Structures are given as structure tokens and as C-alpha cells.
Amino acid sequence: MDHPFMATVAAELAQRGIATLRYQFPAMERGARQPDPPQRAQATARAAATAARRLLPDLPLIAGGKSFGGRMTSQAQASAPLQGVRGLAFLGFPLHPAGRPSQDRAKHLFAVQIPMLFLQGTRDALAMLDELRPLCEALGARATLKLFQDADHSFHVPARTGRKDAQVRGEMLDALAGWIDGLFTAPAPAP
């Protein structure tokens, strides 16, 4: 949760009027090299969403995260909806291992019944576009895909592009803020 990328994202979202709750998976807390097993990671994401709801009961919640954190949050949401969570936002969804394109890690997303935002770099080795685009199309209106030209999984862009990582991050966070605003200003669906 103290990774410079996550700290910067939280600070820049605050500048846009969006509060964040950062948390740590137990394996990261212990300094382990391997991530937590899915069940423990999903329970951690669920506990974080519950804590956010308890701390700010009147605010609408968006859950998600960067890479593994986003995937574990979506798996938790798919198994049993996170109370009060109105959408999921993924900052680089890890659709497959690098060099092994697949949609296997996305099967659970079809059980998610709330809006999902995929913020992805076009050079993301963990989400090849020829796998990600059809997935988002198959998810239908629940999925929004925002691509960032030349960005990798960490939203880094090569110097040859003439763009800076901070520029891309700003565009990404503007897209996230706009998506969130759209969720909460759109008319409520008919019962």
C-alpha cells in the first residue's frame, strides 16, 4: 500500500475529490515473495470494503485496485457482492501471465453484476488487447475499457513517445474520475 505508484495515485485522486482506502495483503505485510492464496486475498479485499463502508457509510463505494488487488477484489465481488460497492475499477487488470495470452483469469467477471472499468496500457504484457477487447465486449454494458497508448502494465511509457508517466497517470485518473462521476449522475435504473 506504500508503493510509490499507489501513494501517488491516492494523492492525485484526492486532488480530484476522490477519497481512497489503501490496504495491504497479509503476504505483503509479512514481506513474502509469493502472494496470498486467492481465498485469503479475497477475504482481505472484502474486509477493506467493509472497513470503508463502516468509516464512510454515506459515500458510494468503488472497489478495485492495481493488478492482483483488482483481480482479487473482482473475485470477491463475484463470489458474494461487496456491500455498498457500486462499481469496480481496475488499474491494469492482470488478464493472463506475461507471454501466455488467455481469458481464464476472467471467467469470474461474468458473475459480477455491477459496472467495471478497465484502465489498461496498450503495451500491457499481462492483458494483450486481442484478449482484453473481446472480453470487455462479451461483458457488455457492465464493462468500460479505457486504453492508454504505449503504456505498459505499470502505466510507464517509453521516452521515445515524448510523453511522461505523470501525463499518462493524469489521463488515467481523469478517466477514472469521469467514470465515477458518470456512475453517480446517471439516472437510477428502473426497478
CATH number where 22 lies: 3.40.50.1820
Residue 3: the pLDDT is 85
Residue 128: the pLDDT is 94
Residue 97: the pLDDT is 86
- CA 141 → CA 83, 124, 166, distances in Å? 21, 23, 30
Is residue 168 a part of any domain in this protein? yes
| HSE, side-chain direction, 13 A CA sphere, residue 47 | 10
CA distance 4 to 152: 17
Number of structural domains in the chain: 1
pTM of full prediction above 0.85: yes
In the chain, which stretches have pLDDT less than 70?
186-191
Residue 191: the pLDDT is 52
Segments forming the whole domain that contains residue 116? 4-28+36-52+60-185
Is residue 67 a part of any domain in this protein? yes
Is residue 190 a part of any domain in this protein? no
Residue 129: the pLDDT is 94
Phi, psi of 171 (to 5 degrees): -65, -40
How many Å from the N-terminal Cα to the C-terminal Cα in the chain?
Answer: 38
Residue 186: the pLDDT is 65
Is residue 191 a part of any domain in this protein? no
Closest CA to 103 of 78, 121, 128: 128
Residue 104: the pLDDT is 86
Q: What is the mean pLDDT of the chain?
A: 93
Instruction: Cell numbers for 5, please give them.
Output: 505508484
Residue 156: the pLDDT is 95
Residue 184: the pLDDT is 86
